[in-house]
Amino acid sequence: MKINWNGKKFESLRDAVGVAIKAYLKCDFGYRLALHSDGDLILQPQNTFRRDEVASVKCWGIGNMDMSEFRDGWDSEGKTDQECIDECCENGDMTRYIDDIVEKVEYSLKENGDRNENE
């Protein structure tokens, strides 16, 4: 399945998450990254649900994150948390974060698939 993120199509979930990571990290608590059966990958409030949702991962919320990883070793003085995340996403190695989100989405897909098979 091709994955759609903000009007762009990606061949793999990992590629789409690699682009979506910045928005995911900067969103507020109470949101989740949701994958739908048509390939749409969107950030949506946790209290909304589309019938075609096949997987989702809750967002930490920028206010709940330890920002030291995004500030230490970077020129972060005077920058907002959002600006620090932008810089890290553009110039840093985000592999660990991307891998974590992909793993959680794949786990959610499996859990939802197992649940649907048992209904």
**What does the pLDDT read at residue 114?**
56
User: What token pair was written down for 58?
Assistant: 């809750």
- Where are the domains positioned within the chain? 3-117
Task: Classify burial at 88, counting beta carbons within 10 Å of its beta carbon; exposed 0-12, middle 13-18, buried 19 or more.
Answer: buried
Please give the pLDDT value at position 1.
Answer: 79
Non-local CB neighbours of 30 within 8 Å, separated by 6+ positions: 45, 46, 47, 59, 61
The answer to whether residues 35 and 111 touch, using CB atoms and an 8 Å cutoff, is no
Q: What is the pTM of this model?
A: 0.85
The per-residue pLDDT for 118 is 46
Q: Which helix (H) or strand (E) holds 31?
A: strand 31-36
The predicted pLDDT at position 112 comes to 80
Q: Does the pLDDT of residue 100 top 50, yes or no?
A: yes
Please give the share of the chain, as a percent, with pLDDT higher than 90.
Answer: 82
pLDDT tens for 65-84 read: 999 989 998 889 999 999 99
Beta bridge pairs of residue 40: 4
Strand partners, 5: 8
